[in-house]
Amino acid sequence: MHAAYRCQHSGACCQAGWDVDVESHVVEAVTSGRVISLSAAGVPFVPRRDETGRMSLARTADGWCGFRNDHRCSLQRAGGEAMLPSACRHFPRLVLRDGRGMLLALSHFCPTAAAMLFDERPLTIVETGPPLAPAEPIEGLDARDALPPLVRPGMLADIEGYAAWEETVVREFTEAPSAARALERIAAATESVRGWTPAHGALAADVAGAFTAARGEPFDDDLSEAFGIIREVTGPHPLLHVEDGFLDAWRALDGGAAPMLRRPVANYMAACAFGNWTAYRGQGLRTVVAWLRGCYDVLRVQLVRQARSAGSLDVTGLTEAFRMADFILVHNVPSIEFGRAAVVFEQSASAAQAGGS
């Protein structure tokens, strides 16, 4: 669904609330006059607030990047893609590099990427290249020299076996009648996979058998412990505030809007699973399952927020819910801290169940 991505210049990334580091060659090119800004008024760069001496893009009074001009970046217009700060050049791409190669997904904070979640075609993992795949140097999580993900504490997967688990999880989300049902089966199958040892044979075969036999416990739709950890490591944020009556509102929304929600939510959850960094941040597959449940809960909170704000949920509100969910999950959650805090899921079987507590 992401393979056809092309920037549509929505400008969402130009008005995001984060600092954008500027590499020294960009600063030098602008300050020396080799690249002339077409729109930045006053000072084009400002020191970062962390006192590291690095520079960030200056912003206008209403929050726009000072280099945005008529829905286009004047830095890119004047100096080409090479003149973009690295963060701008990569957005909205999410990159994991490991023994499988480069796995590429998108942040749905980008409205163009969020719109792709409504694709009804069968979801497959495909080879891609430019312009979706950026030119080197490529930023992201580089795990090429790391050990494979853990099945459980003390037991490494092999990269083929982990790939089989991840690909099966992606398929579960798109084939199950709902994300909740998929999470049930994923949690149950993963508990079986956690018992694997090399003496059992190939991990990939064990994964296939576990998902074939998985039934899953009934889904508890209360917000999970993983959602609580996401709030804890992110810190206070209005998008993570849970309003009174959330569960009743969610159940009403899930019942009334289920046909509209099913496929885009399935695509969103599949995207959360594909090439996710949590496998390399945590201590086992339970942590990845917990992360997926946390992603689902963050999305549900945004869906209820949008439905309450507008009085009902339409495609516009659904798209905005995806955008705000990824604003939190991709751009605010420190993945290392989540992985450390989520060690509790590897210690307790009850904490790892899809329903949480």
Backbone angles phi, psi at 65, to 5 degrees: -60, 135
pLDDT value of residue 351: 43
Strand order from edge to edge, sheet including 101-106: 101-106, 93-98, 141-142
Which of 22, 28, 14 is closest to 54 using CA atoms?
A: 22
Confidence class for position 16, pLDDT limits 50, 70, 90: confident
Q: Which residue has the tokens 């830095």?
A: 75
Same domain (yes/no): 195, 295: yes
pLDDT averaged over every residue in the chain:
91
pLDDT digit string (tens) for 123-171?
Answer: 999 998 888 888 888 899 999 999 999 999 999 999 999 999 999 999 9
Residue 1 lies in a domain: no
pLDDT of res. 184: 96
Please state the separation of Cα 275 from the chain's center in Å: 9
Q: Is 355 helix (H, G, I), strand (E, B) or coil?
A: coil
Domain-located, residue 203: yes
Rounding to the nearest 10 degrees, give the CA dihedral for residues 66, 113, 222, 349: -110
- Alpha carbon 153 to its chain's center: 24
| 53/197 same-domain check | no
47 lies in the same domain as 95: no
Distance of CA 135 to the CA centre of its chain: 21
| 223 secondary structure, DSSP code | P
Same-domain check for residues 73 and 112:
no
Structurally, the chain folds into a number of domains equal to: 3
Regarding whether 161 and 49 lie in a shared domain, the answer is: no
**In the block, which residue shows the tokens 């009804």?**
120
- Please report whether residue 13 resides in a domain: no
Cis amide linkage into residue 131, ω under 30° from 0:
yes
62 and 205 share one domain: no
The SS3 of residue 311 is: coil
Helix (H, G, I), strand (E, B) or coil at 284: coil
216 and 263 share one domain: yes
Strands, DSSP E only, in 148-187? 150-152, 155-156
Q: Kindly calculate the radius of gyration of the chain based on its CA atoms and give it in whole angstroms.
A: 21
Question: What letter does residue 200 receive in the DSSP assignment?
Answer: G
131 & 218 share domain = no
Mean pLDDT is lowest, of 22-36, 185-199, 241-255, 276-290, for: 22-36
**For residue range 182-217, what is the model confidence (pLDDT) as tens digits?**
999 999 999 999 999 999 999 999 999 999 999 888
* 102/136 same-domain check: yes
Flag whether pLDDT at 35 surpasses 80. Answer: no
Asked if residue 234 is part of any domain, the answer here is yes
Specify whether the CB–CB gap between 285 and 273 falls below 8 A: no
Residue 64, domain member (yes or no) = yes
Claim to verify: residue 62 and residue 179 sit in the same structural domain? no
**Looking at the chain, which runs of residues are DSSP E strands?**
21-22, 45-47, 55-57, 68-69, 72-73, 93-98, 101-106, 141-142, 150-152, 155-156
- Mean per-residue pLDDT, 303-321: 96
Are 323 and 186 within one domain? yes
Q: Are strands 141-142 and 101-106 parallel, antiparallel or unpaired?
A: unpaired
**Is residue 124 a part of any domain in this protein?**
yes
Q: What is the rounded CA–CA span in Å between residue 22 and residue 49?
A: 13
DSSP string, 91-144: TTEEEEEETTEEEEEE-TTSHHHHHGGG--SPP------TTTSPPSS--SEE-T
Q: Indicate yes or no: pTM above 0.95.
A: no
Out of 82-86, 109-113, 242-246, 257-261, which region has the weakest mean confidence (pLDDT)? 82-86
Residue 3 lies in a domain: no
Residue 355 pLDDT exceeds 50 = no
Whether residue 128 sits in one domain with residue 268: no
Residue 166 lies in a domain: yes
Q: Which domain holds residue 337?
A: 150-352
DSSP state of 88: H
- Tokens, residue 180: 């909740």
